[in-house]
Structure 1
Amino acid sequence: MTAFALRFLLLSSSFWFVVLRAQHPYLEEQPDFVKPCSLKDSENNACLSELIENMFQHWQNGVPGLRGVGALDPFRVGKLRIAQRVPPNLDVQVALRNLTTYGLSQAKILNSTSLFKSGHYATGFHVQLSKITLKCNYKLRGHVLVLNLNSAGVLNSEIDNLEFFLGMKMKPIQLQDLTFMNVTAIKTDVKRVDKVRINLTNLFGGNRELEDSANQLFNENWRVLYDVLRPVLTQTFDTVLLDRFSKIFQYVPAKYLYQGFD
């Protein structure tokens, strides 16, 4: 083989290695805080619970090297749109921008479970968040309870003692001679909310007296509003979580998280 051909071969090999790496970057070192768990042991609940808690705590500022996901706490979503009509209490169109949620790093996993069936792994978690705070810009049009509204401002909210079940379905996939988990579905089901406090600014063009009265009405009837909005909020939450978890699990090799994978 000529020297030119050898150099060409070496350069070509390096090029395709870089291309392959660029196509699917991954976390190259196993984190110290991660202890791989068994997904086929129904008695392995404590390990799975600790795994998820550690992920939220240690990666609250983002997964090292993973772009396009950002921090888990605060958890940011660029924009959300909600349209809901449930007479007589609600008929609104709401646009939320720069939604920032604080408190996810303090998540406690009260219980967990796993199931393997037909090539898929399913994991379930009972999650508790003692306090969640949210802040965003809003635009709202429609009627809420007895109020007709057409306003834009800042929304602040606090949620006390939120508990929900999170189910996640995953399937192993091979990428670059490594196994990753492809998250195919996520479903949440809220089981408990102790209190929701809401404050919206600029509801009536700066009239503080009317604004305070409206926010008092919202807070006195928060459970009515929550029950009405719950289906669309849950669907939105599932979509956002599926996007984030899909990106994380296709970046972190399965062997770092679970036993029995290469």
Structure 2
Amino acid sequence: MKSFVVCLAISVLGVVQGVNITPCKQDDTACLKASAQAAVPILAAGIPNMGISVMDPMHVDRVKTVEAGLAMDFRNTNVKGLKNCKVLMLTRHPHRTDLDLKCSVTMDGDYTLGGKLLIMPIEGSGKYTIKIRGIVVKIQLDVDEKARDGGTYWVVKDWKHTTTVEKGVHFKFRNLFQGNKQLSDAIHEFANQNWRDIFQEVAPPIVKVIVGRIVSETTKLFDHVPIEELVIR
């Protein structure tokens, strides 16, 4: 969750807000990776005069969806940990940027669930916490260039992502089955033993929203800084 995160889209190389980020040649992958890593906490903290909002913590108002027979409504979610994401890889191509991030994040907020969690019936409404350890987010940005105000700027036309979790996911939903402890304990044991399958069913919609927010916030940098200040051609 990218990385989130995280930074993402960050071919972020240049000087941002007085913080030196080393410009890199397009084919210098070591420089690109180090420069993007240096940008992660800067972007996660937000850059107000560029309109880049704080991303750690990130607030997500609502994600409501139905997936595989499970109705999910997550509200008032706070996502913490994006500032600590690690850049695994960053590569630049003429019209594409590929970024791989590895993050550990905690999401908490309000939930309502109803339907089936894989094979188990589930229903409840209350507070929730999901801890994700070692999520790898691969983001691909389709990038074009646009001349403006005497400079040339990157424009992100589209993006897509994939996620995998390497270490684990822990779920905690309070007030399942109207507080029935026996049923709640059974669901939590099932979910946390089968975290990989449960993550694939429960998490994709909210993870997509988080990654989308990361992309939209960090690519605001491209609106303010011309390519000439970001890369060595």
SS of corresponding position for 2:56: coil
SS of corresponding position for 2:153: strand
Distance in 1, matches of 2:226 and 2:39, equals 14
Whichever of the two has the greater Rg, that structure is: 1
Deviations 1:119-176 (A, max 9, x none): xx212123222x2211121122222134333322111011112223222221122333
Residue 161 and residue 104 in structure 1: after superposition, are their counterparts in 2 closer, same or farther (change >3 A)?
A: same
Residue of structure 2 equivalent to 1:106: 84
Residue in structure 1 matching 2:60, options 77, 95, 113: 77
SS of corresponding position for 1:138: strand
- Corresponding position: 1:211 with 2:184: yes
Distance in 1, matches of 2:230 and 2:150, equals 17
Distance in 2, matches of 1:135 and 1:230, equals 13
Q: 1:90-105, aligned counterparts within 5 Å?
A: 91-105=69-83
Residue of structure 2 equivalent to 1:64: 48
CA contact (8 A) 2:55 2:214 kept: no
- Corresponding position: 1:184 with 2:157: yes
Pairwise CA distance, 1:192: 4.1
Where structure 2 has 5 or more consecutive residues not aligned to the other structure, the ranges are 1-14
Pairwise CA distance, 1:60: 2.1
Q: 1:149-228, aligned counterparts within 5 Å?
A: 149-228=122-201
Letter of the aligned partner of 1:198 in structure 2? F
Residue 172 and residue 180 in structure 1: after superposition, are their counterparts in 2 closer, same or farther (change >3 A)?
A: same
Deviations 1:8-48 (A, max 9, x none): xxxxxxxxxxxxxxxxxxxx965323222233xx2x11222
Q: 1:30-49, aligned counterparts within 5 Å?
A: 31-39=18-26, 42=27, 44-49=28-33
Residue 77 and residue 258 in structure 1: after superposition, are their counterparts in 2 closer, same or farther (change >3 A)?
A: farther
Distance in 2, matches of 1:163 and 1:213, equals 29
RMSD of equivalent CA atoms:
2.5
* Structure-2-length-normalised TM-score: 0.81
Distance in 2, matches of 1:61 and 1:203, equals 35
Query: Percentage identity across aligned positions?
Result: 21
Pairwise CA distance, 1:227: 3.2
Residue 147 and residue 172 in structure 1: after superposition, are their counterparts in 2 closer, same or farther (change >3 A)?
A: same
Distance in 2, matches of 1:244 and 1:73, equals 12
Residue 80 and residue 247 in structure 1: after superposition, are their counterparts in 2 closer, same or farther (change >3 A)?
A: farther
Pairwise CA distance, 1:232: 4.6
Pairwise CA distance, 1:200: 0.6
Residue of structure 1 equivalent to 2:38: 54
Where structure 1 has 5 or more consecutive residues not aligned to the other structure, the ranges are 1-27, 86-90
Residue of structure 2 equivalent to 1:13: none
- Of Structure 1 and Structure 2, which has the larger fraction of its residues in strand? 2
CA contact (8 A) 1:110 1:128 kept: yes
Structure with the bigger RCO (C-alpha within 8 Å, sep 6+) is 2
Aligned length: 219
SS of corresponding position for 1:250: helix
CA contact (8 A) 1:197 1:222 kept: yes
Distance in 2, matches of 1:95 and 1:51, equals 38
